[in-house]
Structure 1
Amino acid sequence: MIKLLSTRPKFTTHEEYIASMPLDVQKILFEVQARVEQVLPEAERCISYGMPAYRMRGDGGTGKVFFYFAGFKKHLGVYPPVNQDSRLIAELAPYRNEKGNLAFPLKDPIPFDLIRRVALALAKEYAQK
């Protein structure tokens, strides 16, 4: 069996990940980070699946990650899908892909308040598990 080495960088902090992006995307990612931390100060930064993410503090660092975000060439990705808030799900319809994950086009204004609400909804879903 041949083991292939990944050429993708391994990030250990949000800052490392964000610094690897173009400046216009960096600004967006820092704003997402600020909005999440404003409404969920108990959330702990981590890197999961190679992207910035959050989990709740107090779980010993082993708890499930509830919010991921990533910059791409043409969009901002937010994961995983919201599953329990039907009103919010309806508002997110224009941004949902076939898996339900969110893709916000970089050419359009980023709806940071909507992303903030996604983080709150996902934290609530996480707390109920």
Structure 2
Amino acid sequence: MKTELKTVDAYISTFPMEVQEKLSAIRKIITENAPEAIETISYGMPAYKTHKKPLVYFAGYAKHIGFYATPTGHEVFAKELSVYKQGKGSVQFPINAPLPIDLITRIVKFRVKENESFSK
């Protein structure tokens, strides 16, 4: 993990262009669908919070993009995510395949609404 990096721009810039494009696409989905989210680096990766609660994280690796929508984002979309390799609270989108933009968008929107409900 790139724990010494302080900004998402710096984090993304450390990857090859193909990976940068995918990381930037995920970032754009998040910022467009959660415009009030606070963007930071946490656990050495881009992290987003709304209402003081984690929203989603993402990270670049040699062969995949890790996406973390814990705790419930993966449970609710389990069927659609089942085609991807997964770990506890994570899903891996292969570098050599198109990103599931619509799915990521729906997960982010779900997490935004969920965090909003916790703040009431």
TM-score (norm 1): 0.79
The ranges of structure 1 where at least 4 consecutive aligned residues each deviate by more than 3 angstroms after the TM superposition are 84-87
Shift of 1:44: 1.6
Tell me the alpha carbon deviations over residues 12-39 of structure 1, each in whole angstroms, 9 at most, x when there is no partner: 1100100111111001111111111111
CA contact (8 A) 1:76 1:106 kept: yes
Tell me the alpha carbon deviations over residues 54-80 of structure 1, each in whole angstroms, 9 at most, x when there is no partner: 112xx5xxx232210011100010013
1:107 maps onto 2:96 in alignment: yes
1:77 maps onto 2:62 in alignment: no
As a proportion of its length, which structure holds more strand? 2
Mean Cα deviation higher: 20-29 or 109-118: 109-118
Structure 1 residues 9, 94: closer, same or farther in 2, change over 3 A? same
Structure 1 runs not aligned, ≥5 long: 1-6
Shift of 1:9: 4.8
Q: Describe the SS at the equivalent of 2:92.
A: strand
Q: Which has the larger Rg?
A: 1
Percent identity of equivalent pairs: 36
CA contact (8 A) 2:56 2:69 kept: yes
Query: Could you say which residue in structure 2 is the equivalent of 1:127?
Result: 116
Shift of 1:87: 5.7
Q: Describe the SS at the equivalent of 2:86.
A: coil
Q: Describe the SS at the equivalent of 2:29.
A: helix
CA contact (8 A) 1:46 1:54 kept: yes
Measure the CA separation in 2 of the matches of 1:77 and 1:84. Answer: 14
Query: Could you say which residue in structure 1 is the equivalent of 2:53?
Result: 64
Residue from 15, 21, 39 that aligns with 1:45? 39
Structure 2 runs not aligned, ≥5 long: none
Q: Describe the SS at the equivalent of 1:68.
A: strand
CA RMSD, 1 decimal = 2.3
Shift of 1:122: 2.2
Query: Aligned pairs, how many?
Result: 118
Tell me the alpha carbon deviations over residues 31-51 of structure 1, each in whole angstroms, 9 at most, x when there is no partner: 111111111111121111010
